[in-house]
């Protein structure tokens, strides 16, 4: 549905996007994750036809965003980061205006309800809270029944309840077969919503996989923690090939490692004749995978 | 909620912007009412009611009927509109519209059109009031008056367009607008009608778009054909400034 190939874009002397390629399949929710300035927004702006790439190609349903602008705008809904409306436009007026721009708009009464803005229909944009402005912006992106949607910083500024609500909207979009390109800072959001995640750093795609696969591939796919009455030889644990980090944390010993590290740790403790108490083994999070892939210097060496 | 579904996109943009314009009470006051109020007050000066031989028998108040018309243009094109457009650019409204089937140029067109309509309404109000209150004659030659009005409005908006295009932010637009505002007021004759100026000052002022506008409007008001040079000055500035504005304007 969306295909980006060797995209490159510089702002002056600063290279925002160096070499980005990925495909978003029809009906897929693809998350774009990365630190500030990684090139996420520039990438999606090229997809939306707002920027002219220096090199590479972008296609949305086979359309070139720069050439087929008219056709593109009819099938792609866009919610931009930090994009505001006329300060004195009311919610109702904005929705009515946007409805008039499309041939077959969604009846916006339902959108207001889903985005919990019904009692704000007569409120002007500047009097809305940040979260309400954000939800209105999402409503406008969906009003033209798009086949694909770009959501940039979807849940920034939303309280936890509103965040759950917009997440539900993304899930509904997915259920309706709408393709979603989701730019986010939030690991939790990416993990919750995305079929696949592209981690972008310094203008390049560092990893592109399902959330589970990214976590499993990380050096901290599992986190094993326990307490012990006897002294534990931490160096011996640290020396194990599947273990990436060992630390003592408030009386608990925490061991991070790849898949299967937990069994190796238990085996190691048995050899030391230590009986672990309050043993917990949990999945690692996307955070560790992310930090590993986007660190200042990719820390491949931390397994000393 | 569906009767609007049939509205054409352009009509919807114009209607929305008209609603928003109607909420800008400050702009509406300065464009619609202030020129007429100024004209009424100036006419209260007894000397300004006296026919003046050096002005070909016109009174000062007669001259001001054209000055306040140009003033309405300055208020609309230079003070009111540029901050609106710059605000739309700065806050991403224009960018956002670029992702819809509507081209954001429609929004700019709507803004220019609405401000121009406000100028026209202000002109009607000012001339009508001047006729009733101060016995200023209505335009003697409506065709020439309309042409002078059109060219004058176009040149004023082209100045506003350049201000918007060269300024990077709303704040800069307001600063530049205020800086340009005073020379514009002067050349339009607010402090001293163009017809009372002499020598190099007059030559300089009538070569500016709004100085020429005051001259041409006053001629047409008296029922005589405006001088071609005044029309050419306004037309020339409009073309030149519009090209500069179009070249420099950025959508974001």
Q: Over the stretch B75-124, which tens digit does the pLDDT of each residue have?
A: 999 999 999 999 999 999 999 999 999 888 999 999 999 999 999 999 99
Please name the residues between 76 and 95 in chain B that touch chain A, using a CB distance below 8 Å.
Answer: 87-88, 91-93, 95
Residues of A in contact with B102 (CB under 8 A): 101
- Which pLDDT score is estimated for A298? 42
Q: Is the pLDDT of residue A283 over 50?
A: yes
- Which pLDDT score is estimated for B6? 56
Report yes or no: B53 at the A interface, CB cutoff 8 Å.
no
Report yes or no: A110 at the B interface, CB cutoff 8 Å.
no
Answer whether residue B135 is part of any domain. Answer: yes
Answer whether residue B4 is part of any domain. Answer: no
Nearest by CB to A84, from B2, B20, B91: name it: B91
DSSP B195: G
Q: Is the pLDDT of residue A35 over 80?
A: yes
Cβ–Cβ below 8 Å for B5 and A78: no
- Which pLDDT score is estimated for A296? 59
Question: Which residue range(s) make up the domain with B34?
Answer: 9-248
Please tell me the distance in Å from A111's CA to the nearest CA on chain B.
12
Lowest mean pLDDT among A127-136, A141-150, B110-119, B221-230: A127-136
Lowest mean pLDDT among A28-32, A198-202, B177-181: A198-202
Q: Is the pLDDT of residue A219 over 80?
A: no
Residues of B in contact with A49 (CB under 8 A): 98-99
- Which pLDDT score is estimated for A295? 64
Nearest by CB to B13, from A70, A97, A109: name it: A97
Cβ–Cβ below 8 Å for A80 and B92: yes
Q: Is A151 helix (H, G, I), strand (E, B) or coil?
A: strand
DSSP B192: S
Mean pLDDT score of chain A, rounded to an integer? 86
Report yes or no: B99 at the A interface, CB cutoff 8 Å.
yes
**Count of alpha carbons within 13 angstroms of residue B169, beta-carbon side:** 2
Q: What is the token pair recorded at B48?
A: 């300004």
ipTM score for this prediction? 0.85
Nearest by CB to B101, from A73, A93, A97: name it: A73
Domain at A219-283, CATH from 3.30.70.1340, 3.40.30.10, 3.40.50.720, 3.40.50.80: 3.30.70.1340
- Which pLDDT score is estimated for B64? 95
Cβ–Cβ below 8 Å for B100 and A101: yes
- Cα(A246)–Cα(B242) distance, integer angstroms: 68
CATH architecture of A2-215: 3-Layer(aba) Sandwich (3.40)
Report yes or no: A125 at the B interface, CB cutoff 8 Å.
no
Mutate to test the interface with B, among A41, A96, A142, A148 (most CBs of B within 10 A): A96
- Cα(A301)–Cα(A290) distance, integer angstroms: 16
Answer whether residue B1 is part of any domain. Answer: no
Cβ–Cβ below 8 Å for B99 and A50: yes
* Residue bearing the bigger pLDDT, B21 or A229: B21
Lowest mean pLDDT among A108-117, A154-163, A214-223: A214-223
Cβ–Cβ below 8 Å for B101 and A70: yes
Answer whether residue B3 is part of any domain. Answer: no
Residues sharing a CB contact under 8 Å with residue A72, sequence separation 6 or more, in sequence order:
A49, A60, A63, A65
Please tell me the distance in Å from A143's CA to the nearest CA on chain B.
11
Q: Is the pLDDT of residue A184 over 70?
A: yes
Number of structural domains chain B divides into: 1
- Which pLDDT score is estimated for A221? 77
Domain residue spans in chain A?
A: 2-215, 219-283
- Which pLDDT score is estimated for B159? 96
Report yes or no: A83 at the B interface, CB cutoff 8 Å.
yes
Q: What is the pTM of this model?
A: 0.83
Per-residue pLDDT of chain B (252 residues; tens, 9 = 90+): 444 445 788 899 999 999 999 999 999 999 999 999 999 999 999 989 999 888 888 999 999 999 999 999 999 999 999 999 999 999 999 999 999 998 889 999 999 999 999 999 999 999 999 999 999 999 999 999 999 999 999 999 999 999 999 998 999 999 999 999 999 999 999 999 999 999 999 999 999 999 999 999 999 999 999 999 999 999 999 999 999 999 999 888
Q: In what order do the strands lie in the sheet with A222-227?
A: A243-249, A252-257, A222-227, A277-283
Answer whether residue B167 is part of any domain. Answer: yes
pLDDT band at A230 (very low <50, low <70, confident <90, very high): confident
The angle at the Cα of A43, spanning A39 to A48, to the nearest 5 degrees, equals 150
pLDDT band at A242 (very low <50, low <70, confident <90, very high): confident
Closest CA to A21 of A65, A50, A63, A53: A53
Please tell me the distance in Å from A78's CA to the nearest CA on chain B.
7
Nearest by CB to B1, from A89, A107, A144: name it: A107
Residue written as token pair 């060496």: A301
């Amino acid at each position: 549905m969306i295909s980006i190939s060797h995209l490159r874009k510089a702002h002056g002397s600063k290279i925002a996007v160096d070499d980005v390629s990925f495909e978003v399949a029809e009906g897929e929710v693809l998350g774009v994750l990365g630190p500030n300035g990684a090139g996420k927004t520039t990438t999606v702006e090229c997809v939306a036809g707002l920027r002219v790439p220096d090199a590479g190609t972008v296609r949305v349903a086979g359309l070139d965003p720069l050439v087929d602008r008219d056709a593109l705008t009819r099938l792609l809904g866009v919610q931009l980061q930090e994009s505001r409306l006329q300060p004195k436009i009311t919610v109702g007026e904005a929705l009515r205006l946007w409805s008039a721009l499309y041939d077959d708009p969604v009846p916006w009464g339902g959108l207001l309800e889903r985005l919990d803005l019904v009692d704000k229909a007569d409120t002007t944009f500047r009097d809305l809270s940040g979260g309400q402005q954000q939800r209105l912006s999402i409503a406008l992106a969906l009003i033209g029944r798009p086949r694909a949607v770009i959501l940039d910083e979807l849940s920034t500024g939303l309280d936890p309840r509103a965040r759950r609500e917009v997440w539900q909207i993304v899930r509904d979009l997915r259920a309706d077969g709408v393709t979603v390109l989701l730019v986010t800072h939030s690991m939790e959001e990416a993990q919750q919503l995305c079929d696949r995640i592209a981690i972008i750093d310094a203008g390049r795609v560092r990893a592109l996989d399902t959330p589970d696969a990214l976590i499993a591939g990380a050096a901290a796919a599992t986190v094993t923690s326990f307490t012990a009455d006897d002294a534990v030889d931490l160096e011996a644990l640290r020396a194990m090939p599947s273990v990436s980090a060992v630390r003592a944390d408030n009386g608990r010993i925490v061991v991070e490692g790849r898949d299967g590290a937990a069994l190796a740790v238990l085996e190691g403790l048995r050899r030391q004749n230590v009986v672990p108490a309050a043993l917990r083994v949990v999945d690692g999070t996307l955070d560790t995978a992310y930090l590993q892939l986007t660190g200042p210097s990719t820390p491949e060496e931390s397994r000393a | 909620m569906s009767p609007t579904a049939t509205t054409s996109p352009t009509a919807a943009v114009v209607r929305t912007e008209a609603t928003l314009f109607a909420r800008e009470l400050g702009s509406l006051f300065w464009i619609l009412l202030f020129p007429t109020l100024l004209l009424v007050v100036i006419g209260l000066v007894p000397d300004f009611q006296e026919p003046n031989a050096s002005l070909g028998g016109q009174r000062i108040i007669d001259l001001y009927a054209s000055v306040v018309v140009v003033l309405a243009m300055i208020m609309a094109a230079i003070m009111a509109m540029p901050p609106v457009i710059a605000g739309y650019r700065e806050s991403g409204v224009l960018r956002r519209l670029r992702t819809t089937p509507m081209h954001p140029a429609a929004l700019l067109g709507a803004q220019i059109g609405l401000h121009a309509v406000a100028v026209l309404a202000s002109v009607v109000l000012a001339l009508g009031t001047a006729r009733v209150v101060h016995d200023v004659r209505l335009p003697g030659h409506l065709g020439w008056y309309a042409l002078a009005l059109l060219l004058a409005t176009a040149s004023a908006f082209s100045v506003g367009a350049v201000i918007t295009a060269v300024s990077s932010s709303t704040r800069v637009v307001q600063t530049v607008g205020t800086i340009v505002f005073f020379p514009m007021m002067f050349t339009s004759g607010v402090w001293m009608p163009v017809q009372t100026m002499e020598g190099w000052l007059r030559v300089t002022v009538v070569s500016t778009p709004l100085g020429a506008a005051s001259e041409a409007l006053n001629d047409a008001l008296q029922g005589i054909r405006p001088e071609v040079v005044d029309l050419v000055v306004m037309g020339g500035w409009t073309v030149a400034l519009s090209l500069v504005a179009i070249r420099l304007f950025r959508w974001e």
